[in-house]
Amino acid sequence: MTEKDDNRGIKRQHYAALGVGFVCVIIGLPLWWKTTEVYRVSLPYSDIADLTNVKIKCVIDVDVINTEPSLTDNNLADLSRIITASLGQGQEKVVHSSYRVSVRQGNDQQKSEVLKTADVKGLDTTFSKQDVLNHYQMVLLPKQSGVKVKRSHVSNGRAAYFTTAEKDLQTIAQEITNVVHSIFVKESTLLKTFRDRITSKRLKPDKESMRSVKSALGYDILFTLVNPQPDILDIQWDIKQAVRDFLGPLSEKLKEYVSLNIQSQVIYFTGLYKRPKKDSKLGEFYYTEKDLPLLINPLEAKLGSHASSNPSLNFLVYIPSREQHPLFIMDQSGSKVPSNSFLSPRWGGIYIYNVKSPSQNASLPHEVSLNMKQVMEVFISQLRLLLNLNNQIPDSTDVGNQAIRLWELDGWLRQRCIENLATSIHTLQSLTQLLERISNIVINDDIGNEVEEALSGIRQSQRYLAVGQLDKAFIQSRKALAASDKAFFDPSLLELLYFPEDQKFAIYIPLFLPISLPILGSLYKTFQWMKTKRKTKQE
Amino acid sequence: MILLHFLVQHYRLFPKSLGDVLTTYQVQELHLSQTQGVWRYDKWGYPPEDAAPGAELLVWFLPQASNIDKLWSDLVNALSGLFCSSLNFMDSKSTVIPRWTFRPAGLADEGYSLQSARVRYSALPKEIVCTENLTPWKKLLPCNSKDSECKSSAVELKQTLTLVYDPPTTNRNGKQDWNFRNTYSTSLSSQCPLASSSKIFVDMESANFAPFTLKPEPTRIETFRRVGEIKKYAVYDLKEVLGKQGKIDLTALYPGVMQFSDIVPPPVYASRYVTGYGLEKGGITCQIHNTLSENITVIYMETIPWFLRVYFNSLKVENNGATIKPFKIHYIPGKDRSQPYQLELVFRLRAQSTTKISLSFDRAFLKWTEYPPDANHGFYVNSAVISTILPTSVNNTAVQQHGSTIEDSMNDQSEQLFLRLHTESLLVSLPTPDFSMPYNVICLACTVVAIAFGSIHNLTTRRFQALDPSKQKKGILSKIKSKLFKSSNLENSKSDSSGKTESEADKSNQKDDLKDDNKDDKISNDTEPS
């Protein structure tokens, strides 16, 4: 073997090692990487991150209609300036409202009708003709109006009435601003709701947000009659008619925004397990406030499950048994609660209905039918609390069996819209955080689509809010919430989650270790050879 | 005012949780049964309510229901939550659409009841009933633990509970005596006030050959004629009995020790078993016995999971060696991992004979993830369902199809009685792999590949050449070697004289190695005296 041959052999050997190394590193590794890669759709991460700095602008229309003849157009122009100045503050907040104020003289028909009517109802019929969602009418009543209004009065529609007697423009503007800020548009509540939902850190909860149920696509409302002694009392309740009378208007108004699934049932032989205390003097039984939380759990076990995944609101009528009759609820001061009912936050309410006990020699079971008006009035007020429609304003028309005032509906929509947006943003951000942290989660096309839909819903909703189209904004926000929830809770995310890295290592090592060692060894030698060769050449 | 935009449902006696499920998933009729053990038709006659071993679910969907497969899969999930059982395993792999076997038991018009597309049937023979299933079942009763039956003109919910006791073995004295206190560990003290009637019936038929006395006296004894048989029931009207006595501990007393004798089997009964051996092929055989002296037409339904690949040409119906041609055959072949094999046959059972239906199948290989945790236990195969109409009511206390209560069966004027039998479920073992196999395969394959690759790689990247050992540069390995052997030499020389010869022999062997390294040797020599 000559030296030349030898050198050529060495050369060939090192080039072969380089070749093998090249194939393994340049083709093998990417191929392995590609084939074992987890399928992950690219999500709009930056867009979602940008949502942190989102600012929501709600546009609200405020019309001031003057029917007082002594106020001239010039006065109205002044008034408009003052109101605009006092309404439009706090532009820098995350959720801010901007008002489109128009102050104008009422038309002749309105002026004449205002003079004619003697009560608020008459005014309502005049001004409800122009009732538009998210559009409020502030009516300045003439001094000689027959309607007696203390300072201001809020109707069941979307109007408020103000007297002009003995007031200057500044006071009128102040009152209008007050009504708009504190009743029609609760800016601080909106802001608080948004801030509360968008972070996982809970702010200090207030009563209202803890009590009301979360925003959802629909609610299951369940009325239950609990009769522990059907052998003694045969209770009849006309729940069908009652639901129609008392919940019909509510569901009619909410039908476009939320679905109400109303059910009723009767359960027998189920009592309150906690024994009430006895007041032996009066022969009455009572529960104190402390006992009330203990009543719900044993009852809830009997209520049965729902077929839907909507949050459920339970309303129970409890008929005390003969041994514990009559039964009352005492408040902290020791006096009976007038409604004889109590509310459990985000769950529902229980109403204790004392039925006259049958006399000893009456034939059993004794038939009794319940006064449904009495029952439903309690439940409607509880339902309003649970839906966060709690507005106790002294100068307003009684809500009656309508269950919801039109301006309350607006406020509810606005708040739910903000809440949906905040929750949806928060969910999306949690999702991206999760996906970024755990790298072997599969992200399907479905999830990608849902995220895109949620994002577009959020943007659309923002856009609609900014032009004052509240109903469309709400529907878009609902869509966003549903899509983001669906993406977050998609079961496909969990599929590969429990395949730990060390197990993968255990599977790869029998192949990779014996193959990579000789390759790396020969590559090392080759590089050394090349180094020495270069040195010798330089020399 | 008609409220169309929101759903309102009101429940009084009907359980809300079940009603909610039924309306949500648009169910017309639902039959769910759960059992434990096997009903021995040949020894016990016919049960009051026939059920398959394990869980069985039969659902008729409403005519307006669309996308029934989706509804079915949602429904079984809801029901599994409601009844605390694994009904959610009733997926498309175990669900069939029976064509002739089942007809609606409730009110349905002719057109609907012939539409078999709205039926779904599935069974889980492994899912046996347990106390955890009884609690949700009990919750559906309006009086909770106080039993009753609910009825209204539009909806009927029938809940039955069948228990089998064997008093001669539980009683120490060998008598057949039974009472409520022993069997239910309590006597009956109240009835559900919501029930319009609560009654206890005792079948007195067996009193003809094994007389017994009942305590307390029944309210009345009903003797009536039903489909050619005289029946005698002792009736206790609970309202009356409880009104008089406050509570009732129904007791039956037998004068003598139970005499066991030959049992006259009922008119039609069946037994089914797996045939064949090994893990490759197998077969299913069902024997249907007809003890009547007239021919009977039966509908035989079989659902076989996809992993038993049935050969349709192996289907044989034989009677005393003679092949019988079925009137009608409905066969849907299974599909791997999506659809079971479904077979419905209509054929005639000859008088006083035994008819044999046999099939053969291949056992499929499953993917390793498809095996259950206890793979060696075997796989269950649904029981076959046999439906027929009998001209007699021997051994039968079942309520007729259109009736609801036992009282209805007393006024049954029909000439024939519908009968449904469920055969035994089968346990078939499939070829089961060693489950550490995948990892072993990976390791083995990788090792083979690595060895092949390593040797080829060596051939291509290394050259073999002769080396002069004296010129060879010392590597780390030989250094360590020399050090190791040197230290062992030291030890040997120190320990005792007997080891000396060995160490010397070693030394001489290693001479060549050590020669190269005189320095080391010197050092070792230096160290030795110290």
For A185, the 3-state DSSP assignment is coil
For B314, the 3-state DSSP assignment is strand
Q: Alpha-carbon dihedral of residues A143, A144, A150, A151, nearest 10 degrees?
A: -20
Q: Which of A145-149, A336-340, B462-466 has the lowest mean pLDDT?
A: A145-149
B354 strand-pairing partners: B289
pLDDT at B275: 93
Both tokens assigned to B317: 């119906």
Average pLDDT over residues A484-508: 79
Contact of B152 with chain A, judged by CB distance below 8 Å, is answered with: no
Cis peptide before A142 (omega within 30 of 0): no
Which residues in chain A are closer than 8 Å to B146, comparing Cβ atoms?
A: 269
H helices of A88-167, where? 108-116, 120-127
List A residues 497-526 in contact with B (Cβ-Cβ < 8 A).
Answer: 506-507, 510-511, 513-515, 518-519, 522
> Using CB atoms, which residue from B1, B21, B454 is nearest to A244?
B1
First-to-last CA distance in chain A?
Answer: 27
Which residues in chain A are closer than 8 Å to B451, comparing Cβ atoms?
A: 514
> Using CB atoms, which residue from B78, B193, B450 is nearest to A515?
B450
For A267, the 3-state DSSP assignment is strand
Euclidean distance between CA atoms B465 and B471, whole angstroms: 14
Instruction: Determine whether the interchain pair A268/B144 forms a contact, defined as Cβ–Cβ distance below 8 Å.
Output: yes
Contact of B82 with chain A, judged by CB distance below 8 Å, is answered with: yes
Is residue B140 within 8 A of residue B15, CB to CB? The reply is yes
A302 pLDDT higher than 90: no
Euclidean distance between CA atoms A221 and A316, whole angstroms: 11
Instruction: Determine whether the interchain pair B20/A304 forms a contact, defined as Cβ–Cβ distance below 8 Å.
Output: yes
Residues of chain B under the 70 pLDDT cut: 1-9, 144-156, 471-474, 486-530
Contact of A279 with chain B, judged by CB distance below 8 Å, is answered with: no
pLDDT at B358: 94
Both tokens assigned to A357: 């006990």
What confidence category does residue A387 fall into, taking pLDDT thresholds of 50, 70 and 90? Answer: confident
Which residues in chain A are closer than 8 Å to B462, comparing Cβ atoms?
A: 13, 522
**Which chain B residue's Cα is nearest to A308?**
B24
Say how many C-beta atoms besides its own lie within 10 A of residue B64's C-beta: 7
Largest CA distance in chain A: 130
Which residues in chain B are closer than 8 Å to A264, comparing Cβ atoms?
A: 8-11
A233 strand-pairing partners: A366
Contact of A239 with chain B, judged by CB distance below 8 Å, is answered with: yes
Both tokens assigned to A312: 């459920």
> Using CB atoms, which residue from A10, A20, A261 is nearest to B460?
A20
Residue in the structure block whose two tokens are 């609101």: A313
Residue among A436, A434, A419 nearest A480 (CA)? A419
Is residue A247 within 8 A of residue A262, CB to CB? The reply is yes
A408 pLDDT higher than 80: yes
The dihedral built from the CA positions of residue A466, A467, A469 and A473, taken in this order, carries a sign that is negative
Euclidean distance between CA atoms A426 and A193, whole angstroms: 13
Which residues in chain B are closer than 8 Å to A303, comparing Cβ atoms?
A: 16
> Using CB atoms, which residue from B81, B144, B462 is nearest to A13?
B462
> Using CB atoms, which residue from B24, B143, B457 is nearest to A307?
B24
Higher-pLDDT residue of A15 and B502 is A15
Q: Which domains does chain B have, with CATH numbers?
A: 176-256 (no CATH), 268-384 (2.60.40.740)
Residue in the structure block whose two tokens are 């002594």: A70
Both tokens assigned to B344: 């419905």
Predicted confidence (pLDDT) per residue in A212-242, tens digit: 888 888 888 999 998 888 888 888 888 888 8
Q: Which of A131-140, A339-348, A359-368, B44-53 has the lowest mean pLDDT?
A: A359-368
Q: Which helix (H) or strand (E) holds B170?
A: helix B167-170
Which residues in chain A are closer than 8 Å to B439, comparing Cβ atoms?
A: 506-507
Both tokens assigned to A538: 């330089």
CB-hemisphere CA count at 13 Å for B149?
15
ipTM attached to this prediction: 0.75
Percentage of residues of chain A with pLDDT beyond 70: 94
**Which chain B residue's Cα is nearest to A511?**
B446
Contact of A240 with chain B, judged by CB distance below 8 Å, is answered with: yes
Instruction: Determine whether the interchain pair B457/A251 forms a contact, defined as Cβ–Cβ distance below 8 Å.
Output: no
pLDDT at A346: 87
Q: How far is B337 from chain A (nearest CA, A)?
A: 20
Phi, psi values for residue B183, rounded to 5°: -80, -40
Both tokens assigned to A11: 């050369």
Instruction: Determine whether the interchain pair A240/B460 forms a contact, defined as Cβ–Cβ distance below 8 Å.
Output: no
β-strand pairing of A56-66 with A135-141: parallel
A339 pLDDT higher than 90: no
Give residue A362's region: left, alpha or beta (phi > 0; psi -120 to 50): beta
pLDDT at B474: 64
Residue among A375, A374, A370, A378 nearest A234 (CA)? A370
- As to burial, measured by CB atoms within 10 angstroms (0-12 exposed, 13-18 middle, 19+ buried), residue A246 is buried
Mutate to test the interface with A, among B3, B5, B6, B147 (most CBs of A within 10 A): B6
Average pLDDT over residues A275-285: 85
B7 strand-pairing partners: A261
CA B502-B506-B512 angle, to 5 degrees, is 160
List B residues 169-198 in contact with A (Cβ-Cβ < 8 A).
Answer: 193-194
What confidence category does residue A475 fall into, taking pLDDT thresholds of 50, 70 and 90? Answer: very high
A66-94 as b/e: b if 16+ CB within 10 A: bbbeebeeebbebbbebbbebbeeeeebe
pLDDT at B520: 43
pLDDT at B507: 45
**Which chain A residue's Cα is nearest to B439?**
A507
Which residues in chain B are closer than 8 Å to A226, comparing Cβ atoms?
A: none
> Using CB atoms, which residue from B1, B6, B11 is nearest to A261?
B6
Predicted confidence (pLDDT) per residue in A160-219, tens digit: 888 777 777 788 888 888 888 888 887 778 888 888 777 766 666 677 777 788 888 888
Instruction: Kindly report whether the global pTM for this prediction surpasses the value 0.80.
Output: no
Q: How far is A270 from chain B (nearest CA, A)?
A: 9
A315 pLDDT higher than 50: yes
